[in-house]
Amino acid sequence: MNILKKCNLCPRNCSVNRYNTLGYCQQSNKIRIAKAALTYFEEPCISSSKGSGTIFFSGCNLGCVFCQNKDISKKNYGKYISIKRLAEIMLELQSKGAININLVTPTPHVINIAKAIKLAKKEGLVIPIIYNTSSYENVETIKLLDGLIDVYLPDLKYYDDKYAKKYSNAKNYFQVATNAILEMYRQVGNPIFDKDDNIVKGIIVRHLMLPTLKEDTKKVLYYLYNTYHDNIYISIMNQYTIIEPLKYEELNHKVKDKDYDEVIDYAISLGIKNAYCQLDNTSSKDFIPNFDLEGVVKN
Ligand code: SF4
């Protein structure tokens, strides 16, 4: 059965025929991307000095009011490409020296992505594939990727669903996301690094700390460590950036250094060893990609 004819790929469960109707994510049956380039601002084991081959997909099935990539997630900037072209792009990024293929906001496109990965592998793609997601995912959809994804890079944005509803328009986020992450862990298991300390298998869960939600962040860390101990990595991020003034006054501030320090101390007190944290001054628009269709069209 063609899932895109009655799309229930994610928990929005729109049930629309994407050949003629757009659902919540605004995506049709075709792949749409806004940029494909080497990036250097991910965790060191993902970017290295050589770069991560990052493909930014248009659309998003979450709805974060503070989204840093609004041009693609909400405004749907991008260009339609074929499955064959997506496979070619993966191979081109590999030729440019990318140490992995990093699929950003892939959820609405997962059916076509799976086909492109298989095609690219037949044509010589050997670098690890990273699935970089908000985690608002159906377990059944993640199961479709079994054997195709090497590294999962899921967010765990909130512990308390009231914040997920308020800031990301998502019901049951914590249950949905943690179920998805369990399936990801079932597939890829404990982290494995190559001789250059680049990750080639495993999970890094990202948590972007929001201003005033320090206690929620601690609950996220507690859950992750008590569930996985040091069998996953946790990336604790303070790079929250205000793109434009929001109606939620509490979000119109950077994360305070003292709150971030307190969270890092808490992580240490829990016993977390496998974690990434960020240095000061990461809250900057300089880290937001310029969506310019780089790498999308064949030169
Ligand atoms: S992938 Fe898009 S169309 Fe499909 S259920 Fe999710 S939001 Fe709806």
Residue 157 Cα to ligand 1 midpoint, Å, equals 20
> Could you tell me which of 222, 148, 207 has the C-alpha nearest to residue 173?
207
Atom nearest to 24 CA in ligand 1: 7
Nearest CA to ligand 1 atom 2: 25
Six-digit token string for 86? 């997506």
- Those residues with Cβ within 8 angstroms of residue 125's Cβ, 6 or more apart along the chain or in another chain: 87, 90, 91, 94, 101, 117
CA torsion 286→291→295→299, rounded to 10°?
Answer: -120
Residue 105 Cα to ligand 1 midpoint, Å, equals 12
Residue 143 Cα to ligand 1 midpoint, Å, equals 16
Helices (H), the chain: 44-47, 70-73, 83-95, 110-122, 139-143, 161-168, 173-188, 214-228, 257-270
Q: Is 14 in the pocket of ligand 1 (CB under 6 A)?
A: yes
pLDDT of residue 115: 98
pLDDT of residue 75: 84
Residue 42 Cα to ligand 1 midpoint, Å, equals 27
> Could you tell me which of 295, 291, 241, 288 has the C-alpha nearest to residue 41?
288
Residue 24 Cα to ligand 1 midpoint, Å, equals 6
Site of tokens 């998805």: 180
Q: Is 61 in the pocket of ligand 1 (CB under 6 A)?
A: yes
pLDDT tens-place values along the chain, 299 residues long: 799 999 999 999 999 999 999 999 999 999 999 999 999 989 999 999 999 999 999 999 999 999 988 888 888 889 999 999 999 999 999 999 999 999 999 999 999 999 999 999 999 999 999 999 999 999 999 999 999 999 999 999 999 999 999 999 999 999 999 999 999 999 999 999 999 999 999 999 999 999 989 999 999 999 999 999 999 999 999 999 988 889 999 999 999 999 999 999 999 999 999 999 987 656 566 667 788 899 998 87
Superfamily of domain 3-287: Aldolase class I (3.20.20.70)
Pocket perturbation via mutation, ligand 1, pick of 61, 111, 138 by most ligand atoms within 8 A of CB? 61
Q: Is 170 in the pocket of ligand 1 (CB under 6 A)?
A: no
Q: How far apart are CA 128 and CA 102, in angstroms?
A: 9
Pocket perturbation via mutation, ligand 1, pick of 5, 15, 25 by most ligand atoms within 8 A of CB? 25
Q: Is 9 in the pocket of ligand 1 (CB under 6 A)?
A: yes
CA 72 remoteness from chain centre: 14
Atom nearest to 8 CA in ligand 1: 5
Q: How far apart are CA 111 and CA 3, in angstroms?
A: 8
Q: What is the DSSP string of 68-133?
A: TTHHHHTS---EEE-HHHHHHHHHHHHHTT-SSEEEES-GGGHHHHHHHHHHHHHTT--S-EEEEE
